[in-house]
Amino acid sequence: MNIVVCVKQTFDSEAKIQLNQEGFIDESLVKLIINPFDEYAVEEALRLTEAYGGRVTLVSVNPIEPAQALRQGLAMGADSAVWLDCSGIDCADQHIHAELVGTWLKSQEFDLVLCGKEAIDDGAAEFPSRLGEVLDLPQGNTVSGLKMENGKAMVRRDIEGGYEIIELNLPCLLSVQKGLNEPRYPSMRRVMEAKRKKIDRIVPEDLGLSNEKLTPFVRVEAYMLPPPRRAGKILEGTCEQTVADLIRSLRDERTMGQEER
Amino acid sequence: MAILVLAEHRNNKLRKAAREVVSEGRALADELGEVLFAVLIGHKISALADEVNKYGPEEIYLADDPGLGVYNTETYAQVLEHLVEQLKPRLVLMAHSAMAKDLAPRVAQRVGAGLLTDCVDILRDDEDLSFVRPIYAGKCLVRMKIRTPSQFVTLRPNSFSAVERPGSAEIKAFEISLEMPRAKSMGVEMLEGEGPDLTEADIVVSGGRGLGDGDGFVLVKELAKMLGAAVGASRSAVDAGWASHQMQVGQTGKVVSPKLYIALGISGAIQHIAGMGTSKCIVAVNKDREANIFRLADYGIVEDLYKVIPVMIDQLRNTQAGSRSPKVM
């Protein structure tokens, strides 16, 4: 089975977020990584092709070459990587990413499209379902369990307090969740090999997309740092005293109810 | 001009987050001089209209069909798509739930609408609305506008209040002939556990690596039960196999924003804070005075959690019973 995995390059979560003078996020000291949820997607693709044969192709939309993300996937074992270069357009909108990837995918043969369920930088969780719509594929989001049975995907997806079980014919689109698998650590050798692999670069012109399809639907007005929390305090005293203090404070603040349950 | 809200329900009850969304829809409709429409999708759901009515929409649409009894992306998307086409709402609101994450972008793409998910605030700028959402693990907020005539927005649970405004909504049946979906819903498996949903709970009690052992969660759950709280876990606890990934709070887990978050044996790594940093009040119990969590916590107790939790349970039980505990100094 041929599998396409959509990966995103994101800021490392340890990154310190600061705004520069123009009110934009200062990207200078930020470490770039493959979106953690996309790693589960790459791993799942590799497991499936190891079991059933086929190729794993990575695709990523970014204004600069997402080398960290793509080479991590290649080092894990993906066969090829495609960079959809959106530097020539205003691509800060998930619908544009979906149009770009979707249009490119229409020229490709695939049995399965995998994505991480969301990116840790914007946390939007928007791209997978938009892509599912562009490609008119049946979809399953936040998948934490997957089995292939008789050529169909049996999927377990996370919902509040439990799981939904869905059966999907191929081709389909799935976004994956932590818990699906344990991503492999590529060996040093594979990491070095991946550095030599070619990343194919495609621009929107190559895809013949109209400007209308590439107009952002959303616009940033301002970035703001969240208000700082009030200073907290460490309660001192014996265990009994600190707990009593705590309960009293929480009740006084009405954070916790006064009433018996 | 109209605002349309999706009123999500579970087990014949309106979900808590749905009540917040309908309330916010009502507030916006009042401010903008619009009408509020609500839609209920499911099977045998007419009784739920009474609940939705408590939050004041002008009209409640019932998409009631055996084919809608269980959630399915394709059938629910058909309903929403046709309803949006008919009502042409300027704003479509949902709670940022598992359903909405699957459904909202699909329908937004189908109807050519912009979408902003997981919003924590809505601001008004004349006739325009702007929406605030957290990014970069909550370390930054971004205020955004949607430029399409129809705007799809999902709201983070616990960020808006549910306010009852009883109304006399007109209830309308929304008929639709559903196309067979290609994906087959095979059923739902609910996890055992009492207590509210993690993302909607008012109080969350979480256990971390400091528990030392999976058995520690027995105590965590006992405290949670006492408080009517949901139980969460840090990534360490989940990776150690002490808790399911569904309980994980953090960057690669769930984002929660309860009134009270009690972190037990949790060091407070950045990735964990990403999932609970907007909690209104944070209490931390950890043996290590230098633990990062104390920088964030409103109240900290530096002590072995296995000493603290039993005392907490004891004092709560005594004061709940209505008698002042003589042990409290």
Quick: pLDDT tens for B91-116: 999 999 999 999 999 999 999 999 99
d(CA A182, CA A184): 6
Q: Which residue has the higher pLDDT, A29 or A185?
A: A185
pLDDT category of residue B323 using cuts at 50, 70 and 90 = very low
Tell me which residue in A179, A235, A238 faces B300 most closely, judged by beta carbons.
Answer: A235
| pLDDT (tens digit per residue) in B113-154 | 999 999 999 999 888 999 999 998 888 999 999 999 999 999
| Angle subtended at Cα A60 by Cα A58 and Cα A64, rounded to the nearest 5 degrees | 135
Strand blocks (E) in chain B: 2-6, 9-10, 13-14, 35-42, 59-64, 91-95, 114-119, 121-125, 128-135, 140-146, 151-155, 170-173, 184-190, 203-207, 230-233, 260-264, 281-286, 299-302
Q: What is the pLDDT of residue B321?
A: 57
Q: Is the pLDDT of residue A76 over 50?
A: yes
Model pLDDT, residue B193: 74
Interior angle at CA B95, CA B261 and CA B76, nearest 5: 140
On the 0-12 / 13-18 / 19+ scale of CB atoms within 10 A, A24 is exposed
Residues of B in contact with A140 (CB under 8 A): 183
pLDDT score at A23: 83
Please check the confidence at residue B328 and state whether its pLDDT lies above 70: no
- pLDDT mean over A166-172: 97
**Bigger pLDDT: A73 vs A161:** A73
Which structure tokens are listed for A189? Answer: 């050798």
Question: Is the Cα torsion angle B315, B321, B326, B329 positive or negative in sign?
Answer: positive
Mean pLDDT, range A2-28, rounded to an integer = 85
Give residue B326's pLDDT: 41
pLDDT digit string (tens) for B210-242? 999 999 999 999 999 999 999 999 999 999 999
Token pair, residue A39, equals 């790693």
Shortest CA distance from B188: residue in chain A: A164
Please determine, for residue A128, whether its predicted confidence score (pLDDT) is greater than 60. yes
Asked if A164's CB is within 8 angstroms of B315's CB, the reply is no
Sorted by sequence, the CB contacts under 8 Å of residue B67 that are 6+ apart come out as: B43, B75, B178
User: Is B102 in contact with A249 (Cβ distance < 8 A)?
Assistant: no
Q: Which residues of A touch B279 (CB under 8 A)?
A: none
| A261 contacts A253 by C-beta, under 8 angstroms | no
Give me the pLDDT at residue A26, please: 80
pLDDT confidence of residue A259:
45
- Residue B86 makes CB contacts below 8 A (sequence gap 6+) with none
**What are residue A19's DSSP bridge partners?**
A25
Name the percent of chain A lying above pLDDT 70.
98
**What's this model's pTM, rounded to 2 decimal places?**
0.92
Summarize pLDDT for A195-251 with one digit per residue, the tens: 999 999 999 999 998 887 899 999 999 999 988 888 899 999 999 999 999 999 999
Q: What integer best gives the mean pLDDT of chain A? A: 93
Tell whether the model's pLDDT for residue A60 goes beyond 80: yes
Cβ pairs bridging A and B (under 8 Å): 268
Measured in whole angstroms, the distance separating CA B244 from the mean position of its chain's CA atoms is: 19
Q: What is the pLDDT of residue B324?
A: 43
Q: Is the pLDDT of residue A130 over 60?
A: yes
Residues near A158 by Cβ (< 8 Å), separated by ≥ 6? A142, A143, A144, A177, A179, B98, B246
CA distance to B5, B7, B13, B16, B22, per residue, from B19 (Å): 10, 7, 10, 5, 5
State how far residue B88 is from chain A, nearest Cα, in angstroms. 17
- For residue B101, count other CB atoms closer than 10 A to its CB: 24
Q: How remote is the C-alpha of B254 from its chain's centroid?
A: 10
Does any CB of chain B come closer than 8 Å to the CB of residue A218? yes
Phi and psi at residue B93, to the nearest 5°: -115, 140
Q: Which tens digits make up the pLDDT trace of B234-273?
A: 999 999 999 999 999 998 899 999 999 999 999 999 899 9
pLDDT, tens digit, 9 for 90 and up, residues B20-36:
999 999 999 999 999 99
In whole angstroms, what is the distance from residue B206 CA to residue B154 CA? 26
Task: Among B141, B198, B271, select the one facing A13 at the smallest CB separation.
Answer: B271
Q: Which of A93, A104, A82 is nearest to A126 (CA)?
A: A93
